[in-house]
Amino acid sequence: MQLFNVTVYIVTTARPPAKGQAAGAWLVEYITGKGKPEIRKGALYRWETTETALTLELIRDAFCTLAKPCSVSVNTWCEHVLSAVGKRWIKQWEEDGWKNAKGKPVKNAELWQQATGKMKNHCVSFDSRMPPAEYLEIMQKKMDKALNEALKEKRAQGQQMNMFK
């Protein structure tokens, strides 16, 4: 069976290791069976997150758009995700009941499980390539929209917002 070649780009405003407010976007790029280029995209804004947690949420959401098994190249700048994949920590964590090498619970274990669960039917590789400039622009617009929606939601709830925390 011929697998579709899919490229996923993940971009966040989060910087490790601090927890804080951040936006992130995913973009899925592939060629349809009829030879037509196709992109799908989405974004999230979180008031309290880490780079790893936001990246895992974005990966999970991007993979939710794939309806059949594909060959997927995931591109992210998140060093922790790249290390966990490259050093095969995830397989070890699963075998050890989601405990790390020190026997402590893996941080964001539920998000790791969700993301890896969505990847199971695909042939997946990871890289740190930068998205093309036109995609970065699209992703920035999606992140801006996610931020504006989050701000509206906070205002509707009557909550104070500190964007410069």
| Nearest-angstrom CA–CA distance, 17 and 35 | 42
Q: Judge contact between 108 and 56, C-beta under 8 A.
A: yes
DSSP letter for 131, please.
P
Cα Rg for the chain, rounded, in angstroms?
A: 17
- Report field, pTM of the whole predicted structure over 0.85: yes
In the chain, the domains with their CATH numbers are 4-151 (3.30.420.10)
The residue among 85, 164, 71 whose CA lies nearest residue 126 is 85
Per-residue model confidence as pLDDT tens for the chain (165 residues): 678 999 999 999 998 888 999 999 999 999 988 999 999 999 999 989 999 999 999 999 999 999 999 999 999 999 999 999 999 999 999 999 999 999 999 999 999 999 999 999 999 999 998 888 888 888 888 888 888 888 888 788 776 544 433
